[in-house]
Chain A
Amino acid sequence: MPDLILSPSNYARLMEGLAVTLQVLAGAVILGTVLSVLFGIGRLSEREWVRRGSSVYIEFARGASAIILLFWMFFALPILFGIRGWSPMTAGILALGLNMGAYGAEIVRGAVKSVSKGQSEAAIALNLTNTQRLRHVVMPQAVPIILPPYGNLVIEVMKGTSLVSLITLSDLAFEVQKLRVNSIVIAESATTPVLYLNVLVIYFLLAFVISQIFKVGERRMAAKFGVPQRRSRPMAGIGAAR
Protein backbone atom coordinates (compact mmCIF):
# COMPACT_ATOMS: atom_id res chain seq x y z
CA MET A 1 0.00 0.00 0.00
CA PRO A 2 2.64 2.56 0.94
CA ASP A 3 4.10 2.16 -2.54
CA LEU A 4 1.03 3.75 -4.03
CA ILE A 5 1.22 6.93 -1.97
CA LEU A 6 3.40 9.82 -2.99
CA SER A 7 5.45 12.07 -0.79
CA PRO A 8 3.78 15.19 0.64
CA SER A 9 5.88 17.47 -1.49
CA ASN A 10 4.71 15.63 -4.58
CA TYR A 11 1.13 16.05 -3.52
CA ALA A 12 1.74 19.71 -2.89
CA ARG A 13 2.95 20.16 -6.44
CA LEU A 14 0.03 18.22 -7.78
CA MET A 15 -2.37 20.37 -5.81
CA GLU A 16 -0.83 23.47 -7.33
CA GLY A 17 -1.47 21.93 -10.71
CA LEU A 18 -5.02 21.10 -9.67
CA ALA A 19 -5.60 24.71 -8.75
CA VAL A 20 -4.67 25.76 -12.26
CA THR A 21 -6.86 23.01 -13.70
CA LEU A 22 -9.80 24.31 -11.70
CA GLN A 23 -9.19 27.86 -12.88
CA VAL A 24 -9.22 26.80 -16.50
CA LEU A 25 -12.30 24.69 -15.89
CA ALA A 26 -14.18 27.52 -14.22
CA GLY A 27 -13.34 29.98 -16.97
CA ALA A 28 -14.20 27.56 -19.73
CA VAL A 29 -17.50 26.53 -18.15
CA ILE A 30 -18.58 30.11 -17.65
CA LEU A 31 -17.75 31.04 -21.21
CA GLY A 32 -19.20 27.80 -22.51
CA THR A 33 -22.46 28.25 -20.64
CA VAL A 34 -22.97 31.77 -21.91
CA LEU A 35 -22.32 30.62 -25.47
CA SER A 36 -24.55 27.58 -25.04
CA VAL A 37 -27.53 29.62 -24.00
CA LEU A 38 -26.94 32.32 -26.60
CA PHE A 39 -26.46 30.02 -29.54
CA GLY A 40 -28.82 27.31 -28.36
CA ILE A 41 -31.67 29.77 -28.31
CA GLY A 42 -30.27 31.51 -31.35
CA ARG A 43 -30.70 28.33 -33.34
CA LEU A 44 -34.41 28.52 -32.64
CA SER A 45 -34.77 32.16 -33.52
CA GLU A 46 -37.33 33.33 -36.00
CA ARG A 47 -34.77 35.55 -37.65
CA GLU A 48 -32.94 33.62 -40.29
CA TRP A 49 -29.59 35.32 -39.95
CA VAL A 50 -29.50 34.55 -36.26
CA ARG A 51 -30.34 30.92 -36.98
CA ARG A 52 -27.76 30.61 -39.71
CA GLY A 53 -25.05 32.33 -37.70
CA SER A 54 -25.68 30.11 -34.72
CA SER A 55 -25.57 27.00 -36.91
CA VAL A 56 -22.27 28.06 -38.42
CA TYR A 57 -20.70 28.58 -35.01
CA ILE A 58 -22.01 25.27 -33.72
CA GLU A 59 -20.88 23.23 -36.71
CA PHE A 60 -17.50 24.90 -36.80
CA ALA A 61 -16.69 24.65 -33.12
CA ARG A 62 -17.90 21.08 -32.99
CA GLY A 63 -16.02 20.00 -36.10
CA ALA A 64 -12.74 21.40 -34.87
CA SER A 65 -11.34 19.37 -32.06
CA ALA A 66 -10.55 21.03 -28.76
CA ILE A 67 -6.87 20.46 -29.21
CA ILE A 68 -6.75 21.97 -32.67
CA LEU A 69 -8.69 24.98 -31.41
CA LEU A 70 -6.33 25.22 -28.48
CA PHE A 71 -3.19 25.12 -30.56
CA TRP A 72 -4.59 27.57 -33.03
CA MET A 73 -5.61 29.96 -30.24
CA PHE A 74 -2.24 29.72 -28.56
CA PHE A 75 0.08 29.79 -31.56
CA ALA A 76 -1.72 31.40 -34.44
CA LEU A 77 -4.09 33.93 -32.89
CA PRO A 78 -1.52 36.18 -31.24
CA ILE A 79 0.42 36.41 -34.49
CA LEU A 80 -2.68 37.09 -36.50
CA PHE A 81 -3.79 39.94 -34.30
CA GLY A 82 -0.38 41.05 -33.20
CA ILE A 83 -1.03 40.43 -29.53
CA ARG A 84 1.88 40.35 -27.16
CA GLY A 85 1.96 38.58 -23.85
CA TRP A 86 -0.78 36.16 -24.80
CA SER A 87 -1.14 33.78 -21.90
CA PRO A 88 -1.81 30.08 -22.30
CA MET A 89 -4.52 30.44 -19.68
CA THR A 90 -6.45 32.80 -21.92
CA ALA A 91 -5.97 30.57 -24.94
CA GLY A 92 -7.06 27.57 -22.91
CA ILE A 93 -10.22 29.14 -21.56
CA LEU A 94 -11.14 30.55 -24.96
CA ALA A 95 -10.59 27.29 -26.84
CA LEU A 96 -12.30 25.05 -24.30
CA GLY A 97 -15.13 27.51 -23.78
CA LEU A 98 -15.82 27.87 -27.49
CA ASN A 99 -15.75 24.12 -27.94
CA MET A 100 -18.04 23.55 -24.98
CA GLY A 101 -20.44 26.22 -26.16
CA ALA A 102 -21.12 24.35 -29.38
CA TYR A 103 -22.07 21.13 -27.64
CA GLY A 104 -23.96 22.93 -24.92
CA ALA A 105 -25.91 24.84 -27.51
CA GLU A 106 -27.26 21.60 -28.92
CA ILE A 107 -28.27 20.46 -25.45
CA VAL A 108 -30.06 23.74 -24.79
CA ARG A 109 -31.74 23.68 -28.16
CA GLY A 110 -32.97 20.12 -27.69
CA ALA A 111 -34.30 20.89 -24.25
CA VAL A 112 -36.10 24.08 -25.28
CA LYS A 113 -37.65 22.30 -28.23
CA SER A 114 -38.85 19.51 -25.99
CA VAL A 115 -40.82 21.82 -23.75
CA SER A 116 -44.32 21.11 -24.93
CA LYS A 117 -45.82 23.31 -27.57
CA GLY A 118 -48.86 23.77 -25.39
CA GLN A 119 -46.83 25.78 -22.92
CA SER A 120 -45.84 28.25 -25.60
CA GLU A 121 -49.43 28.42 -26.79
CA ALA A 122 -50.65 29.15 -23.30
CA ALA A 123 -48.10 31.94 -23.07
CA ILE A 124 -49.30 33.35 -26.38
CA ALA A 125 -52.89 33.08 -25.21
CA LEU A 126 -51.91 35.20 -22.22
CA ASN A 127 -50.25 37.68 -24.55
CA LEU A 128 -46.76 37.40 -23.09
CA THR A 129 -43.95 38.74 -25.24
CA ASN A 130 -41.50 36.28 -26.76
CA THR A 131 -38.87 37.24 -24.23
CA GLN A 132 -41.28 36.83 -21.35
CA ARG A 133 -42.35 33.50 -22.72
CA LEU A 134 -38.75 32.28 -22.84
CA ARG A 135 -37.82 33.64 -19.46
CA HIS A 136 -40.80 32.68 -17.38
CA VAL A 137 -42.33 29.69 -19.08
CA VAL A 138 -39.95 27.85 -21.38
CA MET A 139 -36.50 28.14 -19.83
CA PRO A 140 -37.56 27.16 -16.30
CA GLN A 141 -38.96 23.98 -17.80
CA ALA A 142 -35.97 23.43 -20.03
CA VAL A 143 -33.41 23.63 -17.23
CA PRO A 144 -34.24 20.27 -15.58
CA ILE A 145 -33.94 18.64 -19.00
CA ILE A 146 -30.62 20.35 -19.63
CA LEU A 147 -28.97 19.39 -16.36
CA PRO A 148 -28.14 15.69 -16.81
CA PRO A 149 -26.43 15.97 -20.22
CA TYR A 150 -24.90 19.26 -19.16
CA GLY A 151 -23.26 17.60 -16.19
CA ASN A 152 -21.70 15.07 -18.53
CA LEU A 153 -20.53 17.91 -20.73
CA VAL A 154 -18.83 19.67 -17.82
CA ILE A 155 -17.00 16.47 -17.00
CA GLU A 156 -15.84 16.25 -20.61
CA VAL A 157 -14.54 19.81 -20.38
CA MET A 158 -12.79 18.91 -17.15
CA LYS A 159 -11.03 16.11 -18.95
CA GLY A 160 -10.24 18.52 -21.76
CA THR A 161 -8.42 20.89 -19.42
CA SER A 162 -5.57 18.39 -19.38
CA LEU A 163 -4.79 19.56 -22.91
CA VAL A 164 -3.52 22.91 -21.68
CA SER A 165 -0.49 21.07 -20.36
CA LEU A 166 0.53 20.79 -23.99
CA ILE A 167 0.73 24.54 -24.29
CA THR A 168 2.92 24.80 -21.21
CA LEU A 169 0.26 25.72 -18.70
CA SER A 170 1.11 24.30 -15.30
CA ASP A 171 -2.03 22.34 -14.68
CA LEU A 172 -2.33 18.93 -13.04
CA ALA A 173 -1.25 17.08 -16.20
CA PHE A 174 1.76 19.33 -16.63
CA GLU A 175 2.83 18.90 -13.02
CA VAL A 176 2.72 15.14 -13.21
CA GLN A 177 4.92 15.20 -16.29
CA LYS A 178 7.41 17.41 -14.45
CA LEU A 179 7.36 15.11 -11.44
CA ARG A 180 7.95 12.16 -13.68
CA VAL A 181 11.03 13.71 -15.16
CA ASN A 182 12.26 14.41 -11.63
CA SER A 183 11.58 10.87 -10.55
CA ILE A 184 13.73 9.52 -13.33
CA VAL A 185 16.56 11.67 -12.09
CA ILE A 186 16.12 11.13 -8.37
CA ALA A 187 16.35 7.48 -7.49
CA GLU A 188 13.97 7.03 -4.55
CA SER A 189 11.09 9.14 -5.65
CA ALA A 190 7.82 7.65 -6.83
CA THR A 191 7.71 5.50 -9.91
CA THR A 192 5.97 6.60 -13.05
CA PRO A 193 2.98 4.28 -12.82
CA VAL A 194 2.30 5.37 -9.26
CA LEU A 195 2.45 9.01 -10.26
CA TYR A 196 0.01 8.54 -13.10
CA LEU A 197 -2.34 6.42 -11.02
CA ASN A 198 -2.50 9.10 -8.37
CA VAL A 199 -3.29 11.73 -10.95
CA LEU A 200 -5.94 9.56 -12.53
CA VAL A 201 -7.53 9.15 -9.12
CA ILE A 202 -7.49 12.90 -8.56
CA TYR A 203 -9.23 13.48 -11.88
CA PHE A 204 -11.68 10.73 -11.06
CA LEU A 205 -12.54 12.38 -7.74
CA LEU A 206 -12.99 15.68 -9.53
CA ALA A 207 -15.42 14.05 -11.96
CA PHE A 208 -17.23 12.51 -9.04
CA VAL A 209 -17.61 15.84 -7.29
CA ILE A 210 -18.95 17.45 -10.44
CA SER A 211 -21.50 14.70 -11.01
CA GLN A 212 -22.64 14.94 -7.41
CA ILE A 213 -23.14 18.67 -7.71
CA PHE A 214 -25.32 18.13 -10.73
CA LYS A 215 -27.26 15.35 -9.02
CA VAL A 216 -28.09 17.74 -6.22
CA GLY A 217 -29.17 20.33 -8.74
CA GLU A 218 -31.36 17.80 -10.52
CA ARG A 219 -33.00 16.78 -7.29
CA ARG A 220 -33.78 20.35 -6.41
CA MET A 221 -35.32 20.90 -9.82
CA ALA A 222 -37.45 17.80 -9.42
CA ALA A 223 -38.69 19.05 -6.07
CA LYS A 224 -39.73 22.29 -7.66
CA PHE A 225 -41.88 20.49 -10.18
CA GLY A 226 -43.25 17.98 -7.73
CA VAL A 227 -42.49 15.18 -10.20
CA PRO A 228 -39.14 13.41 -10.76
CA GLN A 229 -37.65 14.76 -13.95
CA ARG A 230 -34.37 12.94 -14.18
CA ARG A 231 -33.80 11.27 -17.49
CA SER A 232 -30.58 9.37 -17.23
CA ARG A 233 -28.55 9.87 -20.41
CA PRO A 234 -25.44 7.73 -20.32
CA MET A 235 -24.49 8.74 -23.84
CA ALA A 236 -24.99 12.44 -23.60
CA GLY A 237 -21.97 14.63 -23.89
CA ILE A 238 -19.87 11.92 -25.42
CA GLY A 239 -17.91 13.33 -28.26
CA ALA A 240 -17.99 16.66 -26.56
CA ALA A 241 -15.01 18.82 -25.81
CA ARG A 242 -12.86 17.25 -28.41
Chain B
Amino acid sequence: MNQVGERRVWDWDFVWEVTPRIWDGMVVIIQATIAGITIAMILGLFLALGRRSQRRWISWPFAAFIDFIRSTPLLIQLFFVFFALPEFGIVLGARTSLILGLGIHYATYASEAYRAGIDAVERGQWEAATALNLSPVTTWRQVVLPQAIPKVIPALGNFLVAMIKDAPLGSSIGVAGVLFVARSIGSQTFQYVETMTIAGVMFLAVSVPAALFVQFLERKYGYEAA
Protein backbone atom coordinates (compact mmCIF):
# COMPACT_ATOMS: atom_id res chain seq x y z
CA MET B 1 0.00 0.00 0.00
CA ASN B 2 1.41 3.35 -1.01
CA GLN B 3 2.16 5.83 1.68
CA VAL B 4 1.04 9.36 1.14
CA GLY B 5 4.00 11.38 -0.07
CA GLU B 6 5.82 8.35 -1.46
CA ARG B 7 5.30 8.24 -5.16
CA ARG B 8 5.13 4.63 -6.31
CA VAL B 9 3.54 5.06 -9.66
CA TRP B 10 3.09 1.51 -10.80
CA ASP B 11 2.66 -1.46 -8.55
CA TRP B 12 2.41 -4.70 -10.53
CA ASP B 13 1.29 -6.82 -7.62
CA PHE B 14 -1.57 -4.47 -7.01
CA VAL B 15 -2.43 -4.56 -10.69
CA TRP B 16 -2.82 -8.34 -10.78
CA GLU B 17 -4.76 -8.21 -7.56
CA VAL B 18 -7.45 -5.81 -8.70
CA THR B 19 -7.73 -6.75 -12.36
CA PRO B 20 -10.35 -9.50 -11.79
CA ARG B 21 -12.60 -7.11 -9.93
CA ILE B 22 -12.29 -4.47 -12.56
CA TRP B 23 -12.95 -7.08 -15.21
CA ASP B 24 -16.19 -7.98 -13.44
CA GLY B 25 -17.13 -4.38 -13.86
CA MET B 26 -16.34 -4.65 -17.57
CA VAL B 27 -18.64 -7.64 -17.87
CA VAL B 28 -21.45 -5.59 -16.34
CA ILE B 29 -20.82 -2.98 -19.01
CA ILE B 30 -20.89 -5.53 -21.80
CA GLN B 31 -24.12 -7.05 -20.55
CA ALA B 32 -25.78 -3.67 -20.25
CA THR B 33 -24.69 -2.79 -23.75
CA ILE B 34 -26.09 -5.94 -25.28
CA ALA B 35 -29.41 -5.44 -23.54
CA GLY B 36 -29.43 -1.77 -24.47
CA ILE B 37 -28.71 -2.29 -28.15
CA THR B 38 -31.49 -4.86 -28.34
CA ILE B 39 -33.97 -2.36 -27.01
CA ALA B 40 -32.57 0.32 -29.31
CA MET B 41 -32.90 -1.82 -32.40
CA ILE B 42 -36.51 -2.70 -31.75
CA LEU B 43 -37.67 0.62 -30.39
CA GLY B 44 -35.74 2.39 -33.11
CA LEU B 45 -37.67 0.69 -35.87
CA PHE B 46 -40.92 1.60 -34.17
CA LEU B 47 -39.81 5.23 -33.85
CA ALA B 48 -38.75 5.31 -37.48
CA LEU B 49 -42.09 4.05 -38.71
CA GLY B 50 -43.89 6.57 -36.55
CA ARG B 51 -41.65 9.35 -37.77
CA ARG B 52 -42.35 8.47 -41.37
CA SER B 53 -46.08 8.47 -40.93
CA GLN B 54 -47.99 10.51 -43.44
CA ARG B 55 -50.23 11.87 -40.75
CA ARG B 56 -48.83 14.98 -39.18
CA TRP B 57 -50.40 14.38 -35.81
CA ILE B 58 -48.42 11.15 -35.56
CA SER B 59 -45.15 12.10 -37.21
CA TRP B 60 -44.72 15.37 -35.41
CA PRO B 61 -44.69 14.05 -31.82
CA PHE B 62 -42.34 11.28 -32.91
CA ALA B 63 -40.03 13.78 -34.57
CA ALA B 64 -40.11 16.04 -31.53
CA PHE B 65 -39.34 13.19 -29.18
CA ILE B 66 -36.48 11.92 -31.33
CA ASP B 67 -34.99 15.37 -31.70
CA PHE B 68 -35.32 16.14 -28.01
CA ILE B 69 -33.67 12.95 -26.82
CA ARG B 70 -30.89 13.22 -29.39
CA SER B 71 -30.07 16.79 -28.45
CA THR B 72 -29.80 16.27 -24.70
CA PRO B 73 -27.17 14.49 -22.63
CA LEU B 74 -27.58 10.81 -21.87
CA LEU B 75 -26.41 11.50 -18.34
CA ILE B 76 -29.41 13.68 -17.54
CA GLN B 77 -31.70 11.13 -19.14
CA LEU B 78 -30.24 8.45 -16.89
CA PHE B 79 -30.78 10.68 -13.90
CA PHE B 80 -34.37 11.14 -15.00
CA VAL B 81 -35.03 7.43 -15.33
CA PHE B 82 -33.38 6.56 -12.03
CA PHE B 83 -34.27 9.53 -9.84
CA ALA B 84 -37.38 11.09 -11.37
CA LEU B 85 -39.47 8.14 -12.50
CA PRO B 86 -39.99 6.94 -8.93
CA GLU B 87 -42.05 10.09 -8.42
CA PHE B 88 -44.46 8.61 -10.95
CA GLY B 89 -44.41 5.28 -9.21
CA ILE B 90 -41.95 3.65 -11.58
CA VAL B 91 -39.03 2.40 -9.53
CA LEU B 92 -36.25 0.73 -11.43
CA GLY B 93 -32.98 -0.62 -10.21
CA ALA B 94 -29.72 1.01 -11.27
CA ARG B 95 -28.87 -1.59 -13.88
CA THR B 96 -32.36 -1.58 -15.36
CA SER B 97 -32.33 2.20 -15.47
CA LEU B 98 -29.05 2.15 -17.32
CA ILE B 99 -30.30 -0.35 -19.86
CA LEU B 100 -33.53 1.54 -20.37
CA GLY B 101 -31.75 4.88 -20.63
CA LEU B 102 -29.25 3.53 -23.14
CA GLY B 103 -32.00 1.80 -25.08
CA ILE B 104 -34.18 4.85 -25.46
CA HIS B 105 -31.31 7.22 -26.17
CA TYR B 106 -29.90 5.03 -28.88
CA ALA B 107 -33.30 4.11 -30.25
CA THR B 108 -33.53 7.69 -31.45
CA TYR B 109 -30.26 7.34 -33.31
CA ALA B 110 -31.27 3.97 -34.66
CA SER B 111 -34.54 5.44 -35.89
CA GLU B 112 -32.63 7.85 -38.08
CA ALA B 113 -30.58 4.98 -39.47
CA TYR B 114 -33.72 3.02 -40.23
CA ARG B 115 -35.24 6.05 -41.89
CA ALA B 116 -32.23 6.51 -44.10
CA GLY B 117 -32.24 2.83 -44.98
CA ILE B 118 -35.93 2.81 -45.81
CA ASP B 119 -35.70 6.00 -47.82
CA ALA B 120 -32.85 4.50 -49.77
CA VAL B 121 -35.09 1.79 -51.14
CA GLU B 122 -35.92 2.98 -54.62
CA ARG B 123 -39.24 4.38 -55.53
CA GLY B 124 -39.54 1.76 -58.22
CA GLN B 125 -39.76 -0.98 -55.63
CA TRP B 126 -42.83 0.57 -54.06
CA GLU B 127 -44.37 1.06 -57.47
CA ALA B 128 -43.75 -2.53 -58.42
CA ALA B 129 -45.43 -3.66 -55.21
CA THR B 130 -48.43 -1.53 -56.08
CA ALA B 131 -48.50 -2.89 -59.59
CA LEU B 132 -48.63 -6.41 -58.16
CA ASN B 133 -51.36 -5.34 -55.76
CA LEU B 134 -49.40 -6.43 -52.71
CA SER B 135 -50.86 -5.55 -49.33
CA PRO B 136 -49.02 -2.96 -47.22
CA VAL B 137 -47.93 -5.62 -44.76
CA THR B 138 -46.53 -7.83 -47.52
CA THR B 139 -44.89 -4.83 -49.16
CA TRP B 140 -43.09 -3.99 -45.97
CA ARG B 141 -42.20 -7.48 -44.96
CA GLN B 142 -41.18 -8.92 -48.29
CA VAL B 143 -40.05 -5.97 -50.36
CA VAL B 144 -39.00 -2.94 -48.37
CA LEU B 145 -37.55 -4.11 -45.09
CA PRO B 146 -35.37 -6.85 -46.63
CA GLN B 147 -33.76 -4.19 -48.77
CA ALA B 148 -33.59 -1.55 -46.08
CA ILE B 149 -32.15 -3.59 -43.23
CA PRO B 150 -28.75 -4.47 -44.80
CA LYS B 151 -28.08 -0.79 -45.19
CA VAL B 152 -28.89 -0.19 -41.56
CA ILE B 153 -26.66 -2.89 -40.11
CA PRO B 154 -23.33 -1.06 -40.33
CA ALA B 155 -24.92 1.95 -38.66
CA LEU B 156 -26.28 -0.25 -35.90
CA GLY B 157 -22.80 -1.66 -35.48
CA ASN B 158 -21.50 1.85 -34.98
CA PHE B 159 -24.11 2.47 -32.37
CA LEU B 160 -23.09 -0.68 -30.56
CA VAL B 161 -19.55 0.61 -30.33
CA ALA B 162 -20.79 4.01 -29.19
CA MET B 163 -23.01 2.43 -26.57
CA ILE B 164 -20.12 0.47 -25.09
CA LYS B 165 -18.47 3.80 -24.52
CA ASP B 166 -21.55 5.31 -22.94
CA ALA B 167 -22.43 2.41 -20.67
CA PRO B 168 -19.85 3.46 -18.02
CA LEU B 169 -22.07 6.46 -17.35
CA GLY B 170 -23.99 4.00 -15.25
CA SER B 171 -21.41 4.60 -12.55
CA SER B 172 -23.20 7.88 -11.87
CA ILE B 173 -26.30 6.04 -10.77
CA GLY B 174 -24.42 3.36 -8.92
CA VAL B 175 -24.10 0.63 -11.51
CA ALA B 176 -21.02 -1.40 -10.61
CA GLY B 177 -19.46 -1.02 -14.00
CA VAL B 178 -15.80 -0.84 -14.84
CA LEU B 179 -15.49 2.82 -13.96
CA PHE B 180 -17.38 2.55 -10.71
CA VAL B 181 -15.17 -0.27 -9.56
CA ALA B 182 -11.98 1.44 -10.69
CA ARG B 183 -12.95 4.60 -8.94
CA SER B 184 -13.97 3.00 -5.67
CA ILE B 185 -10.82 0.93 -5.48
CA GLY B 186 -8.88 4.03 -6.34
CA SER B 187 -10.53 6.09 -3.66
CA GLN B 188 -9.63 3.47 -1.08
CA THR B 189 -6.03 2.98 -2.07
CA PHE B 190 -5.22 6.22 -3.91
CA GLN B 191 -3.66 4.09 -6.61
CA TYR B 192 -5.61 5.76 -9.33
CA VAL B 193 -2.92 5.39 -11.95
CA GLU B 194 -3.16 1.62 -11.86
CA THR B 195 -6.93 1.36 -11.58
CA MET B 196 -7.72 3.94 -14.21
CA THR B 197 -5.14 2.59 -16.60
CA ILE B 198 -6.42 -0.96 -16.17
CA ALA B 199 -9.93 0.32 -16.82
CA GLY B 200 -8.73 2.14 -19.89
CA VAL B 201 -6.82 -0.80 -21.27
CA MET B 202 -9.72 -3.17 -20.71
CA PHE B 203 -11.95 -0.74 -22.40
CA LEU B 204 -9.77 -0.46 -25.45
CA ALA B 205 -9.45 -4.23 -25.49
CA VAL B 206 -13.21 -4.46 -25.93
CA SER B 207 -14.04 -1.39 -27.98
CA VAL B 208 -11.27 -1.65 -30.57
CA PRO B 209 -12.16 -5.20 -31.66
CA ALA B 210 -15.80 -4.11 -31.67
CA ALA B 211 -14.90 -1.22 -33.94
CA LEU B 212 -12.95 -3.53 -36.23
CA PHE B 213 -15.95 -5.82 -36.33
CA VAL B 214 -18.07 -2.90 -37.42
CA GLN B 215 -15.61 -2.12 -40.18
CA PHE B 216 -15.94 -5.72 -41.28
CA LEU B 217 -19.72 -5.33 -41.28
CA GLU B 218 -19.45 -2.20 -43.36
CA ARG B 219 -17.37 -3.98 -45.92
CA LYS B 220 -19.58 -7.01 -45.97
CA TYR B 221 -22.72 -5.04 -46.55
CA GLY B 222 -20.90 -2.78 -48.92
CA TYR B 223 -22.70 0.36 -47.96
CA GLU B 224 -21.41 3.49 -46.37
CA ALA B 225 -23.08 4.07 -43.02
CA ALA B 226 -25.10 7.06 -44.18
Contact = CB atoms under 8 A, between A and B. Distances in A.
Interface of A: 59-60, 62-69, 71-72, 75-76, 79-80, 82, 155, 159-163, 165-166, 173, 176-177, 180, 191-193, 195-197, 199-200, 203-204, 207-208, 233-236, 238-239, 242
B75 A173 contact: yes
Contacts of B80: 193, 196-197, 200
B76 A180 contact: no
Contacts of B218: none
B182 A71 contact: yes
B176 to A, nearest CB: 15
B200 interface: yes
20 contacts: A63-B208, A64-B200, A64-B203, A65-B168, A68-B168, A68-B200, A71-B182, A72-B200, A75-B183, A79-B9, A79-B192, A155-B71, A166-B75, A166-B171, A173-B79, A196-B79, A197-B80, A234-B115, A235-B116, A239-B162
Contacts of A208: 71
Contact of B84 (A76, A193, A238, A239): A193
Contacts of B41: none
Contacts of B77: 200
A75 B115 CA distance: 42
Q: Interface size bucket, B side?
A: 35 or more
Contacts of B164: 65
Closest 5 CB pairs of A and B: A65-B165, A235-B226, A207-B71, A239-B162, A242-B165
A197 B68 CA distance: 11
Given A72-B196, A196-B83, A234-B226, A64 B204 contact: yes
B17 interface: no
B217 interface: no
A5 B76 CA distance: 18
A67 B87 contact: no
Given A165-B75, A233-B226, A238 B208 contact: no
Contacts of B211: 62-63
Interface stretch (B54-62, B140-148, B153-161): B153-161
A79 B193 contact: yes
Contact of A235 (B85, B155, B161, B166): B155
Contacts of A200: 68, 72, 76-77, 80
Contact of A71 (B76, B84, B183): B183
Contact of B204 (A63, A67, A238): A63
B7 A82 contact: yes
B192 A75 contact: yes
Given A67-B169, A165-B75, A191-B87, A236 B226 contact: yes
Contacts of B75: 162-163, 165-166, 173
Contacts of A239: 158-159, 161-162
Contacts of A65: 164-166, 168, 203, 207
A204 B159 contact: no
B198 to A, nearest CB: 10
Contacts of B208: 59, 63
A66 B73 CA distance: 13
Contacts of B171: 166
B9 A159 contact: no
Contacts of A69: 200
A75 B72 contact: no
B112 A80 contact: no
Contacts of A159: 71-74
B206 to A, nearest CB: 9
B161 A204 contact: no
A56 B66 CA distance: 35
Given A68-B168, A72-B196, A76-B195, 15 more contacts: A65-B168, A72-B200, A79-B7, A79-B190, A159-B71, A173-B73, A193-B87, A200-B80, A203-B72, A203-B76, A208-B71, A236-B226, A238-B162, A239-B158, A242-B165
Interface in B174-202: 179, 182-183, 186, 190, 192-193, 195-197, 199-200
